[in-house]
Each structure stands twice: as C-alpha cells, then as structure tokens.
Amino acid sequence: MCGIFGYIGERKNAGSIVIRGLKNLEYRGYDSWGIAMRLLDGSMRMAKDIGKIGAVDDKDFAQPCSLAIAHSRWATHGGVTRDNAHPHFSCDGRIAVVHNGIIENFEELRSELESKGHTFASQTDTEIIPHLVEELLKQKGMTLAEAVRSACKRFMGRFAILVLDRQLMSLVAARTGSPLIVGVGDGECFIASDIPAFLEYTRTVEYLDDGEMVTVEGGKIRFQNIQTGEEREKRLVTIDWTVADTGKGEYEHYMLKEIMDQKETIQRAVHQDDEHILQVAKSIETCLGCILSACGTAGKVCMAADYFFSVVAKRHVNFVTASEFPIYHHFLKPESLIIVVSQSGETADVLEAMKVAKQSGSKVLAIVNTEGSSIARAADYTLLINAGPERAVASTKAATGQMAVLLLIAHAVAGKLNAGRTLLLETGGLINDMLNPRYIEHIEGIAKKICKHDNMYIIGKGWNYPMALESAIKIQEVSYIHAEGFAAGELKHGPIALIEEGTPCVALLGNDEFTSDILSNIMELKARGALIIAVSPVRHTAFDLWIKVPDAASAQPIVNIIPIQILAYLLAVLRGKDPDMPRNLAKSVTVK
C-alpha cells in the first residue's frame, strides 16, 4: 500500500526519474500522488494532486535536480484530497516526507507538536513526521540522520519513510514493518518500496531490514539500527528480474499479460531444487501440526493445497486465514510447521502470523514470488515460485504458480516427486495450448451474454470449491459484479434462494469422482432458472454454456481457474472498468 520512491545521485533529472519509477509502483496505491524535488539552486519544488500517477507527465519535472522523493497513495488516515496527498512538510518547508504505513500514536504526537506551535495542513498521520524532525533539528549539533532516528524511535506502528532536507544533498530512509529496498547504481542511489521502481537503472540492491535506517550522503550509503544507532554491513544482491518482465508486452493490460504468462509460469514454478523440496516434504511429515496461512487469493490457494495434501499425500494440514492466525497461538509448538504463501512477500497480516508463530518457536516456510521480500527474509525456509513480477492488482499467474509449488510438495510428501513434476510440466503444456485467441474469443462471447448481470454464483466441489471462492474474488474485484462462491453441496442449505430466471451460475468440474454430485447440484440450479456456465473437461447436457478445459488430474484447480481469470478480465473490460487498478484496492497490503 502506497508506493514511495526517492533518488539521489549525479543525474540531473531526479524529478522525472522518480515520477517514471513511481508509475511502476502504481499497483501499490493510486488515489493521489506527490513529489518533492531539491533543485540544483537549493530551492524546493513540490507538486501533488488527487488522481493516478499514471496520468502525470514526467517531463513536467525535468528541472535540474539530483535529489527527489515521490509518493503514490492508498488512503488510510484522511480522505483522498490534495492536502492529504504526500509529501508532507515541516512548518518552515525545509523537511519533506513521504510515508507508507500507519503511525498508530500520531494523535498523541500531533497534540504534543501543536502545543509547541506546529500547525498542520492535513488529516494524515504522516504529517507528524516532518514536524517532529523539524522540532528535533532545533537541538544543538543534531544531524538530519540523528533527528530521523530519534523521531522513528517514538513511532508506534508500521512505517517506511523517505526524508529530504532542502538544505542538504542527502536522503534518509527508515523502515519498520513496511518494505524499503535500496537500489545501488554508479554514484547514485534509489530507495523504493519495490524493485520495479528502479529496475531501469540497476539490478543491484541492498535490503533494508526491519528496524533499520539508511543515510545516503556524499556518495556513501550508511545503514544503521534505529534503536541503537549501530552501523550495519550489507551484502549487495543482484536480482534476476528484467525491465521486459515488468512491462505489458503486446497486451493492453497487465492482467491479460499475466494471464498469458501462465503459458510458461507453471513450468517455472516447478523448477525447484529436488533436495530442497524433499527437505520441505520431510519437515511436513515429521512436524507436529502443519498450518497453511495466507490472505485473499493466496488463502484460496492454501485451501486448495489442503485438498492436495489430503488426496495426494494423505496428510492432514489446516488452513487459517492470516488475519485470524493469532487466535490459534495456543496450538503452536516448537515442533509445528507454518507454511505461509504470499505473492508480494509484504502482506502485513501474514507477517503478523509469522511473528506469532516465531514467538511459539514454530518453524516457518514461506512460498513467495518476491525474492528478498520481508516474508522471504523473516522465514526459516523459502521457496520462490519464479512467476516474475506481477503488477495487476488481481493475482493470476502468482496464484497458479503457488498451487503448482504446493502440489509438487504434496507429491514429494507422497514419495512421488518425479510424478508430481511430470504432471505439472504436462499441465503447463496443456495451458500453453489452451491460451489461444479462439479460446479467449469463446470466453468473450460468454462474457458478453452475462456482463449486464448484477449477481453471479460459482460452485465447485473438492479442490474446485476453493477455486469457486477464488473465482468470486477475481470477478468481484475487477468487474464489480457481485459474485459469490459456494461448495456445491451447500447450495440447498440457503444460497439457492438467490437464484432467479437467468442468474449466471458457473460450475467448476473435473473428470473425477465428484462429477455426479455436482451434476445434481447443477440440475437443482437449472430447475430454478439459472444459466449454467460450466468449466469442465467433459461436456454434459445440463450445461447451457461450456468452457472446455483439459483433464489435468490433481492439477485440475490450476487449469480451471484460468478461464475464470479470463472471464473476470473480459467482464471488467466490457463494463468499462480498469482491470489493472480496481477501485479501493492495492496490490501489496502492508497495513493490518
């Protein structure tokens, strides 16, 4: 949530650099934007507005400047107004701050600062930061870095901040909870919430750990612990994402591009070190209780994994939504294994779940897409899904990559690692064949028939049940149609009352032992007038509309969700919505 990006270095177009880079972080928040530039003549230029950073022209910020910070907002405290957009400034206009996260004790700090004569221009929690730094700088001999460090020690909550002082050619950043990554170039430094902001300039990074700050001045980068001030050594890491990976390619939207990327990402997901997978499988077999935890789509993936472990490996694992996980702390032991799943690796509720697990001494395995992310670094073991950057807010290729890794692990637990890999590689090939223009046109025809409806329902049984829930998330979030997913057998216990003549109902089927049950449920829906759209390897007369999928055995949920991703995308486009940036959402949910 919220994208922040700062530049300091020898280039003279820092303003354009941060605006352009921030556009690559727009998936983090897009209700307003802002920039502060320290111009080469020592003056400060500020601009902010409501609306998307994507609509801002970076050429408007081409004045000679070598130090700038910028922000793209997802509102938490204070409505979406120009005044609440970042950066925020000290009373004297010398200090500018951009912030991602929430300062929980801001009211108390604001009253304290107001009593000292500070006046505030916004309703945000963020604005206390420049005022507090300004106040601390009044102390004799206080440097900017020391003032930021002292200020951070007073904050409660989660934050990642960038601080610019009009009087200095230095950039100070600090984090607790929210992500910050330092991109290191030749005589220049980039500090951002996420790597795509600076990928155009460097692939060399240093990760700022929780509770650390960094000061860039005179060509030197100095890392410190916020509490103790102790200096920290960092390792330079080269990341393997490329600029091409972060683009839209030939597609109009990132969401469609990322759906099409699934031609390759299943194969990439199973590209794992055998030893590592076998070790993970052993931990699952020997632990005393294995719990899967995640949020949103990643949570639905975990629910599918429950079925993978149960059916393929005959092993019971539980899923607990990450935001509910702390309630289960009584059941955690040092011998427990917690598997967390996250695309971004930054989801606050997942990090909180990991903290609770660690407090009980339990071990944590993280399955993530973003190398070096907070979740990856806080885990005891990490597996990467290798999907490449996912920029559309709606998760598609990451979800199927996560399922592929979990299905591979389930096979490893069953002593069938090679069979699992073969199945998944074959499934990748089937998906490649499936994702052709005719297939998409067929789904478009169906989307056109149902795009004016306000409600739709999705049913599934077995591992297609979590996919019914995931289908509902996909359709809701990008098309704003009210969609709900159910276990097919639950229909008659209430939801069937919602069915009217023509209500679109999607049924997810495999070629498996559940087919006859779900066909009965389809008949029950049909008898009440529902329009049945079936995603199934086999055709049945009960279907009004059929989306054919390959028969993929235990990989069926991976295959079945793909046409629904396409349907959700097309429904959004037909309804005139932006599928990449749905209202009220942000890709990386770094607040609780």
217: exposed, middle or buried (C-beta count within 10 Å: 0-12, 13-18, 19+)? Answer: middle
Among 477, 496, 518, 521, binds ligand F6R (CB under 6 A): 477
* Sign of CA pseudo-dihedral 234, 240, 241, 243: positive
**343 forms part of the interface with ligand F6R (CB under 6 A):** yes
Nearer to ligand F6R, 100 or 215 (CB): 100
User: Residue 544 and residue 562: Cα distance in Å, rounded?
Assistant: 20
Q: Interface with ligand F6R by CB under 6 A: which range of 22-30, 118-126, 182-190, 337-345? A: 337-345
Q: Scanning residues 119 to 138, which ones bind ligand F6R (CB under 6 A)?
A: none
Burial 131-163 (b: 16+ CB within 10 A, else e): bbbbbbbeeeeeebbbbbbbbbeebebbbbbbb
Can 2 be counted among the known catalytic residues?
yes
Q: How far is the CB of 20 from ligand F6R (least distance, A)?
A: 24
Neighbours of 311 (CB within 10 A): 15
**394 forms part of the interface with ligand F6R (CB under 6 A):** yes
Among 395, 400, 560, 565, binds ligand F6R (CB under 6 A): 395
Both structure tokens of 488 = 């097919």
Q: How far is the CB of 40 from ligand F6R (least distance, A)?
A: 39
Q: Interface with ligand F6R by CB under 6 A: which range of 140-148, 187-195, 212-220, 295-303? A: 295-303
Which helix H or strand E contains 312, and what residues bound it?
Answer: helix 296-313
Contacts with ligand F6R: how many residues (CB under 6 A)? Answer: 15
Q: Interface with ligand F6R by CB under 6 A: which range of 154-162, 234-242, 340-348, 498-506? A: 340-348
User: Residue 301 and residue 35: Cα distance in Å, rounded?
Assistant: 38
Angle formed by the axes of helices 262-269 and 417-434, to 10°? 170
Q: How far is the CB of 344 from ligand F6R (least distance, A)?
A: 3
**350 forms part of the interface with ligand F6R (CB under 6 A):** yes
Q: What amino acid occupies position 549? A: V
Question: Residue 464 to residues 102, 424, 499, 568: CA-CA distances in angstroms?
Answer: 37, 17, 21, 17
**293 forms part of the interface with ligand F6R (CB under 6 A):** no
Can 363 be counted among the known catalytic residues?
no
User: Residue 8 and residue 192: Cα distance in Å, rounded?
Assistant: 12
Q: Interface with ligand F6R by CB under 6 A: which range of 221-229, 254-262, 294-302, 479-487? A: 294-302
**296 forms part of the interface with ligand F6R (CB under 6 A):** yes
Q: How far is the CB of 212 from ligand F6R (least distance, A)?
A: 22
* Sign of CA pseudo-dihedral 275, 281, 286, 287: positive
Among 16, 126, 178, 344, binds ligand F6R (CB under 6 A): 344
**471 forms part of the interface with ligand F6R (CB under 6 A):** no
Q: How far is the CB of 296 from ligand F6R (least distance, A)?
A: 2
Is there a cis peptide before residue 582, judged by omega within 30 degrees of 0?
no
Taking CB atoms, the residue at the shortest distance from ligand F6R is 296
Nearer to ligand F6R, 284 or 469 (CB): 469
User: Residue 22 and residue 72: Cα distance in Å, rounded?
Assistant: 7
Q: How far is the CB of 155 from ligand F6R (least distance, A)?
A: 24
Task: Give contact residues for ligand F6R (rule: CB under 6 A).
Answer: 295-298, 342-344, 347, 350, 394-395, 473, 477, 588-589
- Just list the catalytic residues: 2, 587
